[in-house]
Amino acid sequence: MLKGIIFDCDGTIIPTLERQESWFRFYSKRNNQPWRFNCFDDFKEFYNDRVSRPGNVQNVYDELSLPCDMSDKSHPVWPAYEQFNSENPLELYPGMRQALDDIMALSSGLVLGLNTSNSMRSIKGSLVEGGIISYFKHIITSDTLREKSPDGDCEPLKKPNTFSIELMLGVLGTEPEETLHVGDTIADLRASHGVHGNRSLLTVGACYGYEGSEILSKGYGGLRFDELVDDASGLVAVVKKFL
């Protein structure tokens, strides 16, 4: 019986990649660099590939010949990025608020958590404006992982590490087998397995997010998502199935 649901945020609740594309398009124009992508999917493929390599988003800036030093918080890219974000607040994915309402209405016993590798500062505005922040009993972010890390480095603790999932299960008070993990990446899938030794959460892959159905349906090694959905309303049907 389903007792808890852990949601990823970027690419699952908030269409962050769409804004990344808008930002890079804007920043390229500002720096007189040509935009080399024909469509959103072109950019998505490039972006996902480069951020999966060591160096992460810095690779995207470098290959697009855009001025940025991710390690230098005084670099002028940061105020420009924050100004862009404040002028372009992100809305939730279409139907997400309704889907969460519907899920909450299905069972009073369900408890929800939000587990993101992003910072609270980056996501809070969208969750507040979307009217859903109070739906989550607990939110784990990169800030949480930094606090928990022995040397203050949150990177090794991010998904696919199971650390944040195990932390969340503890806070929600649910067992892996009665908890659904909703995510849009293979890292989310991997973080759902090998929990508390060798236990697994139920998993649903959001194909509308960063990596898409082709990648998510292949899984990772022998791991597969239990369910895949194409939009927010699909989540409600999956929750009903597992209740």
161 burial level (CB within 10 Å; 0-12, 13-18, 19+)? middle
* CA–CA dist 210, 188 (Å, integer): 11
Q: Buried (b) or exposed (e) across 206-243, using 16+ Cβ within 10 A?
A: bbbbbbbeebbeeeeeeeebbbbbeebebbbebbeeee
Q: Which of residues 2-31 bind Mg ion (CB under 5 A)?
A: 8, 10-11
Residue 226 has, within 13 A of its CA and on its CB side, a CA count of 17
The structure tokens 């804007």 sit at 26
Quote the least distance from Cβ 212 to Mg ion, whole Å: 12
By beta-carbon proximity to Mg ion, the closer residue of 10 and 227 is 10
Q: Looking at beta carbons only, is 11 or 212 nearer to Mg ion?
A: 11
Query: What is residue 110's DSSP assignment?
Result: -
Instruction: Name the residue with the smallest CB distance to Mg ion.
Output: 11
Closest approach of Cβ 183 to Mg ion, in Å?
A: 6
Q: Among residues 94 and 173, whose Cβ is nearest to Mg ion?
A: 94
Smallest distance, Mg ion to C-beta of residue 125, A: 17
Angle subtended by helix axes 16-30 and 40-51, to nearest 10: 100
Which single residue is written with the structure tokens 């009073």?
A: 108
Q: 167 or 182: whose CB is closer to Mg ion?
A: 182
User: Which CB, 216 or 236, lies closer to Mg ion?
Assistant: 216
CB of 12 to Mg ion, least distance (A): 5
Scan residues 199-218 and list those touching Mg ion (CB under 5 A).
Answer: none
Nearest alpha-carbon partner for 192 in 7, 54, 13, 3: 7
Closest to Mg ion by CB, 74 or 145 = 145
Span of 103-111, 161-169, 176-184, 217-225 interacting with Mg ion by CB under 5 A: 176-184
CB 211 within 8 A of CB 219: no
- Residue 68's DSSP bridge partners are none
Quick note: the x/- pattern for Mg ion over 125-164, rule CB under 5 A, is ----------------------------------------
- The answer to whether 132 touches 100, Cβ cutoff 8 Å, is yes
Question: What's the rounded Cα separation, in Å, for the pair 103 and 240?
Answer: 8
Nearest distance, CB of residue 158 and Mg ion, angstroms = 11
- Least distance from C-beta 182 to Mg ion, angstroms? 10
The correct pick among 184, 193, 205, 238 for binding Mg ion (CB under 5 A) is 184
- Quote the least distance from Cβ 142 to Mg ion, whole Å: 13
Please tell me the count of residues contacting Mg ion according to CB under 5 A: 4
With respect to Mg ion, which residue has the nearer C-beta, 36 or 60? Answer: 60
* Chain contacts with Mg ion (rule: CB under 5 A): 8, 10-11, 184
